[in-house]
Amino acid sequence: MVLTRTGHQEAAYHSTAPLKPPHGVSPHAVLVLPLPTWPLSRTPRSEQARRRAVAAAAGCYPAAVVVAAGWAVPTY
C-alpha cells in the first residue's frame, strides 16, 4: 500500500508478484472441491471410502498452494 500511495506502482506490483500464483490457486478450492463429491455420491462405495476420497482431494489443495508458491518465488 505504501508503494502504491507514494507513486511507485511498478515497485508495488513487483513486490507482491510472488503472491499472485498461490493466491490464484487457493481460492479455487471452493469452486473445484464440490466437483468430485457429486460423482462419488452416485458410486456404490461406502461412506467411509467416499470421505477418504474427498479428504484426499482436499489434502491436494495445500500441496498445490505450496507448489505454486515454490514455483512463483524463483520465477518472480
DSSP 1-70: -HHHHTT-HHHHHHHHGGGHHHHHHGGGHHHHTHHHHHHHHTSS--HHHHHHHHHHHHHHHHHHHHHHHH
pLDDT at 48: 95
Of residues 9 and 3, more confidence is placed in 9
- 6 pLDDT band (50/70/90 cuts)? confident
pTM more than 0.75: no
Per-residue pLDDT reduced to its tens digit, 32-74: 888 888 898 899 999 999 999 999 988 988 899 899 889 887 8
